[in-house]
Amino acid sequence: MKKVLIINAGQNFGHSGGRYNKTVTESTAEALKAFNNVEVRITHIEEGYDKEEEVQKFVWADYIIYHTPIWWFQVPFGFKKYLDEVFTAGHNKGLYKSDGRSSKNPAINYGTGGTLNGRKYMVTTTWNAPATAFTLPGEFFNETSVDNGPLFGFHRMNAFLSLERLEGFHFHDVEKNADVERDMKLYKEHITGIFEKELKPQLA
């Protein structure tokens, strides 16, 4: 049995009601139901959480799937607070032991003290920006992808815990030109393909 922790970072703030990421979270859970050897737990950050329980969920999980909107090119403040609180609480409790360095040679091995080895993570993001803002010459992000640009620090954060990255999925132009039915279909195909590969040894 493989264990999946889904984290919904959707947040009700300003003109955002958090509905899109709730739909993405529901689509993830629904897609994973096709695999009878998967157990799912879900954290909806906005509903509240106990940081020590969240630490144990990370230790419990084989896979962590994050769903987050991007506000002002970063994760929402509620999600950042969750990460700060939970990861700090996870020191020497299963998430990481240290930053990986030793006093004998403090210049090397930074970021190697994570203790979630063997586990993997995936992230989805939702954007007002169209996909072309990241790909076309002269457009806003200078042909820098979501993962190599705005999410670079997020990916290194997970690497600090020794989590291995799975290919994520980014939803674009969701405010002005959303097509939820189309996007959820494409996303379910994506996550089903990911887990068919991941669970292949167990399905054989």
- pLDDT computed for residue 99 by the predictor: 97
- Confidence band of 203 (pLDDT split at 50, 70, 90): very low
- Is pLDDT of 60 > 90? yes
Q: In what helix (H) or strand (E) does residue 202 lie, and over which residues does it extend?
A: helix 200-203
- pLDDT computed for residue 201 by the predictor: 64
User: Which alpha helices (H) appear in 119-179, and where do they start and end?
Assistant: 132-135, 152-160
* Mean pLDDT calculated for residue range 20-35: 97
| Model pTM score | 0.95
- Is pLDDT of 202 > 60? no
Which CATH homologous superfamily contains domain 2-203? Flavodoxin domain (3.40.50.360)
Average pLDDT, the chain: 96
- pLDDT computed for residue 8 by the predictor: 98
Segment 119-158, tens digit of pLDDT: 999 999 999 999 999 999 999 999 999 999 999 999 999 9
109 Cβ partners below 8 Å, 6+ apart? 100, 101, 102
* Mean pLDDT calculated for residue range 27-39: 96
Residue 152, token pair as written in the block? 């670079």
Segment 79-128, tens digit of pLDDT: 999 999 999 999 999 999 999 999 999 999 999 999 999 999 999 999 99
